Amino acid sequence: MLLTRILGVGAATGVALAGYAAAEARAYTVREVALTLLPAGSRPVKVLHLSDLHITPGQQRKRDWVRDLAAWSPDLVVNTGDNLAHRRAVPTALDAMAPLLDLPGVFVFGSNDYFEPGLRNPLAYLAPDRGKRHVDVPQLPWRDLRYGFASAGWLDLTNRRERLRVAGLDLAFTGVDDPHLGYDDLPAVAGPAPDDADVRLGVAHAPYLRVLDQYAATGHELILAGHTHGGQVCLPALGALATNCDLEPARAKGLHRHPADSREGDPGSSWLHVSAGLGTNPYLRFRVACRPEATLLTLLPRG
Ligand SMILES: [Fe+2]
């Protein structure tokens, strides 16, 4: 009798937890961050950092929520990849971002732009990364997504450097293809970031340390990345348990320094912003103590 009761309470708790985690995965939020980074006298620049939509054709609420982000009037959109979670999701992704595609933007891709998601053991995220990549799965129509972004005017930062004028400022960008897949071509974007730009930004999908190290060492003041999902399943008091890359869990999301122990102004150091992203693998659509997010980063003038 007692055992039956204990099993009953355990099952009810499990169902309640699963329900909570499924609801949190749909509790989209905008996180606002301010950072003093611009030349004195500049006006503030609002950067919308989008990442890890993992959208499917059926996720209309997520599509509508992303469409409404244009109401924040960002000056620039930075999309750090993992937009897709279904082979027919490109129109949904482009529809979700249609109002944002009218704005200046830059993008890089992640593994979930290139390859279809599969059913994974959720505990695999907590295991050490052994470098194995399941790239023998069907490809997603990433060329269509790239065409959709690029034809709207967003700059493709796949192993490239680009310049963009935003709000009267000259912004220099360095980007790499997805480091989680080993697609990053760091030699192609090596060398000092241009010192005649107003701000230098490094962009990548997965925040692997080799990429962060090169960006920081070559003079980028701000690095933007996604991929971690903020840990996705976090302990309320302790935070993330894993990042699915070699970045330590303490920097799984939010604004930090790189190297972690550096201070602003240290040579070879940078700000690092990691987005917890808006989605999950569609087969594991749950989050705990880590709401899905887009970030509005307001860059402020020095002084
Ligand atoms: Fe992702």
Rounded CA gap, 12 and 142, in Å?
A: 42
Q: What is the tens place of the pLDDT at every residue in 271-287? A: 999 999 999 888 888 88
Strands in 111-159 per DSSP E: 155-156
CA 55 – CA 133 distance, rounded (Å): 21
Give the number of domains in the chain.
Answer: 1
Taking the centre of ligand 1 as the mean of its atom positions, its distance from the CA of residue 248, in whole angstroms, is 17
pLDDT per residue as tens digits for the range 221-264? 999 999 999 988 888 888 999 999 999 999 999 999 999 999 99
In this predicted structure, the answer to whether residue 16 has a pLDDT above a threshold of 80 is no
pLDDT at 234: 87
Which residue in 166, 165, 154, 40 sits closest to 93, CA to CA?
A: 154
Q: Tokens 């790499």 map to which residue?
A: 176
What does the alpha-carbon distance between residue 207 and residue 226 come to, in Å, rounded to a whole number? 7
Query: What is the CATH number for 232?
Result: 3.60.21
Distance from Cα 54 to the centre of ligand 1, integer Å: 7
Report which of residues 102 and 128 the model is more confident about. Answer: 102
Cα 294 to averaged position of ligand 1 atoms, centre (Å)? 13
CA 195 to centroid of ligand 1, rounded, Å = 33
CB atoms within 10 A of CB 28: 18
- For residue 197, the enclosing domain spans 2-301
* HEC per residue, 205-240: CCCCHHHHHHHHHCCCCEEEECCCHHHCECECCCEC
**In angstroms, what is the span from residue 205 Cα to ligand 1's centroid?**
9
pLDDT in tens, 22-71: 888 888 999 999 999 999 999 999 999 999 999 999 999 999 999 999 99
What angle do the packed helices 90-101 and 60-67 form, to 10 degrees? 20
Distance in angstroms (rounded) separating the CA atoms of residues 42 and 25: 37
What CA–CA distance (Å, rounded) separates 199 from 164?
Answer: 10
Cα(122)–Cα(288) distance, rounded to whole angstroms?
A: 13
pLDDT of residue 21: 78
What pLDDT does 126 receive? Answer: 60
CA of 117 to the centre of ligand 1 (A): 10
Taking residues 103-113, what's their average pLDDT? 98
pLDDT at 4 over 80: no
Q: How far is the CA of 13 from the centre of ligand 1 (A)?
A: 28
Percent of the chain whose pLDDT exceeds 90: 77
